[in-house]
Amino acid sequence: MRNKLIAGNWKMHGSLAGNPALLQSVAAGAATQSNVSFAVLVPFPYLAQAQALLTGTSCAWGAQDVSEEAGGAFTGEVSAAMLRDFGCRYVVAGHSERRARHGESDRRVAAKALAALEAGLTPIVCVGETLDEREAGQTLAVVYRQLDAVMESLGVRRLPAIVLAYEPVWAIGTGRSATPAQAQEVHAALRQRVSNADWVVGSGLQILYGGSVKPSNALELMRLPDVDGALVGGASLAADDFLDIGRAAALA
Ligand code: PGA
């Protein structure tokens, strides 16, 4: 049985003054749920605050991006070792907002995942198709291409050290989640793709669903056989909603 992870992607939200209430509520709620893991993925400037408030709690923390470089003249970038310095456990690689806005290629995303892994972080690698790609019948081709780049760079034997997240771009921040059938189809296909290379790794791979996950749809999504948790954007900014999604995952 795969463990379920509920990871909150704060995106560019939060404030030094407002974060403690959210972090402390999430940590208190997470402590009451033993069979689900929680994490928050905060903007870089708040990592020290997350570390200070979450150390010793059952909520992990992490960042939303990482450089593929180890260090050097890369203005504005943050290395995986720096994230380790702040106690991060997770880092997102290849979120669609970064792929689209910052031109991150499949290769670059794979390099970021590798850099994270080598620093001892768990990369949460995002894959997902746009609406145009879905309507053109290219969903699986797109997510396979994105997954294959990571498999080639890491090697299938290292995939147990990553978390994969399927986030259909058209479902992110739109209020329109994938239907359970749509999510299950892609999750099962991704797992099968990895299983074709290594059955054991495929069976154990943790695959999160992301895209308009909220308390009202969490249970039906978390019950799907190949969904192992959620990457939650908007609903992670309200502690009650985020924890309710965790409760749904625990029940599923
Ligand atoms: P959303 O975002 O839950 O607000 O749709 C999910 C994500 O982008 O990770």
pLDDT of residue 245: 98
Q: Is 238 exposed, middle or buried (0-12, 13-18, 19+ CB in 10 A)?
A: middle
pLDDT of residue 103: 96
Could you write out the DSSP letters of every residue in 115-138? Answer: HHHHTT-EEEEEE---HHHHHTT-
Could you write out the DSSP letters of every residue in 22-58? Answer: HHHHHHHHHHT-SSEEEEEE--GGGHHHHHHHHTTSS
pLDDT of residue 94: 98
Rounded mean pLDDT of 120-140?
Answer: 97
Which atom belonging to ligand 1 lies closest to the Cα atom of 172? 5
- pLDDT > 90: percent of the chain: 99
Rounded mean pLDDT of 89-95?
Answer: 98
Rounded mean pLDDT of 132-143?
Answer: 97
| Mean pLDDT (the chain, rounded) | 97
Domain parsing of the chain, residue ranges: 4-243
User: Is ligand 1 within 6 A of the CB of residue 128?
Assistant: no
Q: Is 78 exposed, middle or buried (0-12, 13-18, 19+ CB in 10 A)?
A: middle
| CA dist., res. 164 & res. 92, Å (int) | 10
Alpha carbon of residue 93 to chain centroid: 8
pLDDT of residue 34: 85
Residue of 232, 237, 242 best suited for mutating to test ligand 1, as the one with most atoms within 8 Å of CB = 232
Superfamily of domain 4-243 in the CATH hierarchy: Aldolase class I (3.20.20.70)
Whether the predicted pLDDT of 179 surpasses 80: yes
Query: Please, which residues have CB within 8 angstroms of residue 197's CB and are 6 or more apart in sequence?
Result: 151, 156
Catalytic residue among 97, 104, 133, 167: 167
Whether the predicted pLDDT of 36 surpasses 80: yes
Which of the four pLDDT bands, split at 50, 70 and 90, describes residue 197? very high
Which of the four pLDDT bands, split at 50, 70 and 90, describes residue 46? very high
